[in-house]
């Protein structure tokens, strides 16, 4: 068998068995590389007898073309195979169900703070904040609650030092003093926040939330207080009509003082706010005591106004039918899953709130 034929047979069979690009490249350089078999054969041409050279050269050229064609074809095949394999492996099964993921929930307290803030901001109240660790003066004395006043006992205060100067605020009312001292009247603010008392049962927790309201201007009277609270209760409980009762009460920082009850009834085991002949206490309020205004450097002869304090947790319990306050703060994720709110699942009239 001629040398050319031998090379041809050997390499055609080799190429036939090639399965990947790497092996193909190896054979390619074995044949056509610098020291490749075919390249060397071309180099030998000049040493062949003239009478045989022409024939050999043409056979060699023929072989070269043939092998190159086979290599080209093989190259294409390998590439196609790789593409097909990739397509097969990357196959997307569109019939698979989507992957579920865990999304967090908004706590009912945060939700109610957002709702309430939105409602009051619609009628011109801005939001203030104060510290959880208060001093005795802002929490009691400046609010016209002198030492030995029974209200101090009622509040079951957590004191933080022996001098009884630092304490965990028992209500959000000290924010009234802080707000008035740092600004100039008129004031129209709400102050939501955490409050603390030595108390724990189904409806009391040592840490709870309140919302303070304060409106001071030159001619604010109790009519404004009533109007404001009617508006708030109707918006918050999403009812057109509501029964409200102002019951005379006593707070050292207001004169006169009142507690506010709302009418309700139980229907099909659920509480219905605004109807019925039962009463439920929801907040304390009154006209700010002149002593409080004086302590906050506001002249009571020129300015007066109302204040109110409402329990946020209680509002959440009433509106969303939650009956044990302690569960609010147990951080049980299953409870939050059930009672919590989706971040965008807010009633339409509250949308647009920044959170």
Segment near ligand DAH (CB under 6 A), from 23-31, 121-129, 222-230, 279-287? 279-287
128: DSSP letter: -
Task: List phi, psi (to 5°) of 128.
Answer: -120, 160
Strand, helix or coil for residue 345: coil
CA pair distance 291, 143, nearest whole angstrom? 8
CA pair distance 343, 345, nearest whole angstrom? 6
> Binding of ligand DAH at residue 309 (CB under 6 A)?
yes
Q: How far is the CB of 212 from ligand DAH (least distance, A)?
A: 6
CB 82 within 8 A of CB 74: no
Q: How far is the CB of 143 from ligand DAH (least distance, A)?
A: 8
Closer residue to ligand DAH in complex, CB, 156/345: 156
CA pair distance 214, 177, nearest whole angstrom? 10
**CB within 8 Å of 67: residues ≥ 6 apart:** 8, 11, 12, 15, 31, 38
Closer residue to ligand DAH in complex, CB, 242/307: 307
CA pair distance 230, 242, nearest whole angstrom? 8
Closer residue to ligand DAH in complex, CB, 171/314: 171
CB 6 within 8 A of CB 14: no
Segment near ligand DAH (CB under 6 A), from 24-32, 76-84, 230-238, 282-290? 282-290
Segment near ligand DAH (CB under 6 A), from 55-63, 238-246, 280-288, 316-324? 280-288
Task: List phi, psi (to 5°) of 118.
Answer: -65, -45
> Binding of ligand DAH at residue 193 (CB under 6 A)?
no
Pairing status of strand 126-127 against strand 187-196: parallel
CB 259 within 8 A of CB 247: yes
Among 264, 308, 328, 341, the residue binding ligand DAH under the rule CB under 6 A is 308
CA pair distance 232, 212, nearest whole angstrom? 13
Closer residue to ligand DAH in complex, CB, 136/212: 212
> Binding of ligand DAH at residue 284 (CB under 6 A)?
yes
> Binding of ligand DAH at residue 305 (CB under 6 A)?
no
Number of residues that bind ligand DAH (CB under 6 A): 11
Which one, of 133, 134, 137, 116, lies nearest residue 125 by Cα?
A: 116
Segment near ligand DAH (CB under 6 A), from 51-59, 110-118, 274-282, 302-310? 302-310
Give the chain's end-to-end CA distance (angstroms, integer). 89
40-69 mask for ligand DAH (x: CB under 6 A)? Answer: ------------------------------
204-233 mask for ligand DAH (x: CB under 6 A)? Answer: --------x---------------------
247-266 mask for ligand DAH (x: CB under 6 A)? Answer: ----x--x------------
Among 63, 175, 260, 307, the residue binding ligand DAH under the rule CB under 6 A is 307
Strand, helix or coil for residue 73: helix
Q: How far is the CB of 192 from ligand DAH (least distance, A)?
A: 13
148-177 mask for ligand DAH (x: CB under 6 A)? Answer: -----------------------x-x----
Q: How far is the CB of 319 from ligand DAH (least distance, A)?
A: 20
Q: Give the Cα-Cα-Cα angle 53, 55, 58 (nearest 5 degrees).
A: 105
Task: List phi, psi (to 5°) of 95.
Answer: -90, -10
Using Cβ positions, the residue closest to ligand DAH within the complex turns out to be: 309
Q: State the residue for tokens 């009234």.
A: 176
Q: Which residues bind ligand DAH (CB under 6 A)?
A: 171, 173, 212, 251, 254, 284-286, 307-309
């Amino acid at each position: 068998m001629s040398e050319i034929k031998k090379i041809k047979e050997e390499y055609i069979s080799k190429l036939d068995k090639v399965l990947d690009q790497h092996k193909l490249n190896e054979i390619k350089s074995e044949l056509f590389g610098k020291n490749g078999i075919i390249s060397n054969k071309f180099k030998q041409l000049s040493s062949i007898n003239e009478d045989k050279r022409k024939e050999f050269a043409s056979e060699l050229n023929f072989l070269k073309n043939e092998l190159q064609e086979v290599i080209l074809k093989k190259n294409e095949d390998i590439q196609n195979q790789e593409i097909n394999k990739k397509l097969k492996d990357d196959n997307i099964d569109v019939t698979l169900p989507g992957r579920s993921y865990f999304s967090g929930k908004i706590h009912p307290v945060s939700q109610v703070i957002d709702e309430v803030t939105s409602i009051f901001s619609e009628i011109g109240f801005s939001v203030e904040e104060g510290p959880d660790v208060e001093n005795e003066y802002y929490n009691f004395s400046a609010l016209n609650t002198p030492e030995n006043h029974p209200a101090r006992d009622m509040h079951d205060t957590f004191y933080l030092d022996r001098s009884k100067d630092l304490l965990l605020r028992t209500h959000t009312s000290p924010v009234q003093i802080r707000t008035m001292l740092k600004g100039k009247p008129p004031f129209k603010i709400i102050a939501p926040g955490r409050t603390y008392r030595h108390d724990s049962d189904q409806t009391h927790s040592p840490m709870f939330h309140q919302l303070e309201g304060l409106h001071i201007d030159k001619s604010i009277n109790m009519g404004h207080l009533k109007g404001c609270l009617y508006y708030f209760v109707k918006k918050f409980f999403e009812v057109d009509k509501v029964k409200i009762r102002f019951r005379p009460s006593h707070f050292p920082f207001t004169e006169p003082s009142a507690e506010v009850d709302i009418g309700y009834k139980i229907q099909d085991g659920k509480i219905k706010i605004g109807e019925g002949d039962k009463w439920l206490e929801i907040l304390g309020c009154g006209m700010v005591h002149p002593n409080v205004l004086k302590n906050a450097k506001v002249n009571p002869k020129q300015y007066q106004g109302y204040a109110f304090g409402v329990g946020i947790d209680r509002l959440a319990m009433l509106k969303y039918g939650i009956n044990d306050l302690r569960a609010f703060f147990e951080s049980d994720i299953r409870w939050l899953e059930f009672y919590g709110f989706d971040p965008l699942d807010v009633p339409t009239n509250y949308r647009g709130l920044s959170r």
